[in-house]
Structure 1
């Protein structure tokens, strides 16, 4: 028999979710279960879904006082929020990656007998899913009991944190090359099942949002005039870059454009979607975990790299460590691809990687236009997604015009893109 749910911080388990959690607990050999619920994210930390942390307490293997915790990722109840952001497509995409792509990755490293200590495990496990509430709800492994926590999105990540992320991205991308090489039919099925959720017609940022996109570009252009003279090369190249924004966005995320080097990407690798584990000094990171696969896409591996480096770091980090971070990525990729049984020199030589960098790094600027107003906003200034309306994006952009952190980091991204000849 189960005890009632004890709820905290206004969080609730709705519908069938309690039964789903109890089923997970039973599979983990728990009986006489009690459940405590709390919110797993603060305002400004998550934008597409709602996160709850559920602590399960009870007997395990007959021993009293045992506990475990899971994270529930819930589709929003607010219908307006679901409609404006089209969150159902994001949840469906994430479920496909968790239920189809990640098991294929795991199967490959098991079949190739990758040593346990060297296996990729930087994504939480999917424990269960539920579709009874009119959409997908996911039950995921909670990484916090293992010492993982989120970094401060406002500070930007230093080189040590970035190096860990780049290495894990390299390993994540290596699976696609190994599957393409060794299991081509399976890889074709997986890459076809991953859906572009942002830059496509009828998506959250698709054709019908064209008016909002133009407003955003006009806003950034006007704010950047505070930093760059109107006729400067920086503004000229930026205006040219934005002149055909929708087509440029759809092209840069096209897997076909990146062949034969396209991979199944994480898609949304930014600070709040990464957890870090620290050494005893509580300052030096030793491991990274990648969260949130809702925006996974089939595209150039450089789209993940550029998004991460240009939207999550200060320019000082990029100027001091850009080359070393690219080396961290490629060395980790190459070493892991060899463990998976394929040859990086044949599948993705360094020269091909650099060519992809040249062609697709402008994705970092494209994403910065969308996300930096949010990433650099104080928690109290982030949009209330449950009260979203036609004026939400406009009002938030207006606030960013006086946000000095946003103005500096947006200008730094434009400057870097021009200086590196990416635009």
Structure 2
């Protein structure tokens, strides 16, 4: 899939050109440093040697880890804003933006329903709900009538926006693409003091709230996410403002607080939908992953031809998997297929 979508070439462009351009001197790094690029491979600094660690993929983020990840995301997004504002001053307002510099490459691997993976994710989620969800047959029929439109709307939200400020965005912010550094606090307990982002194969340009909501939807328990959503959004915006202030950029001229909060509410659908694509194959233990995905023919069958069968099989044999995956499917349906019904945090 990586080769077919030319995602390696995309990531190489990001690290060798875009990242180099947008790096802000003196701003704490938000990703690993590229050492060299070889044919078919890139060599990075060793983050493990710097004591950065991946978390267990079955562990959702708590408050401390979420705030560190949002800090890093704000640095990443601010970097492209600072670069573009500097270029606009240099060109007397003529510079259009990073997206237009590299549009062809940044659109590679774009999420849309023409992708077999995305289409099968959409169909697989619907098939699983027909079998295992809380809905009766009347509700299922209503969901089915609206499901494609909901997904189509979601996927459009994650693309370059004509209405909102855009930044260089990661678009794949699940647990395995976040590495944390730890230090001991005053109580002699280990706590995260930094985070870096890895794997930029999905990089593109979209509203900053798209990455923020994707991070929160993919990595937090839904109840915990909603209980603290305002704190997280305010924290991210405050971090972004502080970084831009240090570069003499007035955030309200770029993205007002109201615009950001409105965008975040819109982007919730994007975050939930991409989570619904990713969660069914990363919420599996390593033995199951090896059993089903090490064979290319089996991998292609599951990912591109019949995802629903696989998801239902996993739900039949693993109650934890069923609960975790189904709650995301049902949140999408509750919020966006029943517009007259108010979504309630459980």
User: Could you tell me the TM-score, scaled by structure 2's length?
Assistant: 0.81
Distance 1:150 1:200, change over 3 A: closer
Contact 1:270–1:311 at 8 Å: present in 2 too?
Answer: yes
Hey, which of these two has a bigger chunk of strand by percent?
1
Aligned residue for 1:289, secondary structure, equals: strand
Distance of 1:211 and 1:323 partners within structure 2: 32
Aligned partner of 1:409 among 319, 324, 337? 324
Report deviation, 1:126: 0.5
Distance of 1:88 and 1:418 partners within structure 2: 30
RCO higher in structure (CA 8 A, sep ≥6): 2
Report deviation, 1:298: 1.1
Q: Which residue of 1 aligns with 2:127?
A: 219
Structure 1 segment 181-196 matched on structure 2, within 5 A = 181-184=85-88, 185=95, 187-190=98-101, 192=103, 194-196=105-107
Hey, which of these two has a bigger chunk of helix by percent?
2
Q: Which residue of 2 aligns with 1:138?
A: 42
Distance 1:190 1:286, change over 3 A: farther
Distance of 2:33 and 2:118 partners within structure 1: 37
**Cα RMSD, aligned residues only:** 2.8
Q: Which residue of 2 aligns with 1:392?
A: 302
Q: Which has the higher Rg, Structure 1 or Structure 2?
A: 1
Distance of 1:208 and 1:407 partners within structure 2: 23
Report deviation, 1:265: 0.2
Q: Which residue of 2 aligns with 1:287?
A: 194
Deviates more, 1:146-155 or 1:179-188: 179-188
Aligned partner of 1:244 among 149, 161, 166? 149
Q: Which residue of 1 aligns with 2:32?
A: 124
Distance of 2:141 and 2:78 partners within structure 1: 38
Q: Which residue of 2 aligns with 1:254?
A: 159
CA offsets 1:194-250 (integer angstroms, 9 cap, x no match): 52344357xxx734557634541332322452x344445xx6775455223663354
Report deviation, 1:272: 0.5
Q: Which residue of 1 aligns with 2:343?
A: none
Contact 2:67–2:232 at 8 Å: present in 1 too?
Answer: yes
Distance of 1:319 and 1:150 partners within structure 2: 25
Q: Which residue of 1 aligns with 2:92?
A: none
Structure 1 segment 32-111 matched on structure 2, within 5 A = 84-86=1-3, 89-106=6-23, 109-110=24-25
Distance 1:207 1:270, change over 3 A: closer
Distance 1:416 1:325, change over 3 A: farther
Gaps of 5+ in 2: 89-94, 340-346
Distance 1:157 1:209, change over 3 A: closer
Distance of 1:216 and 1:418 partners within structure 2: 14
Distance of 1:315 and 1:421 partners within structure 2: 16
Distance of 2:210 and 2:99 partners within structure 1: 20
Aligned residue for 1:279, secondary structure, equals: strand
Contact 1:122–1:289 at 8 Å: present in 2 too?
Answer: yes
User: Could you tell me the TM-score, scaled by structure 1's length?
Assistant: 0.68
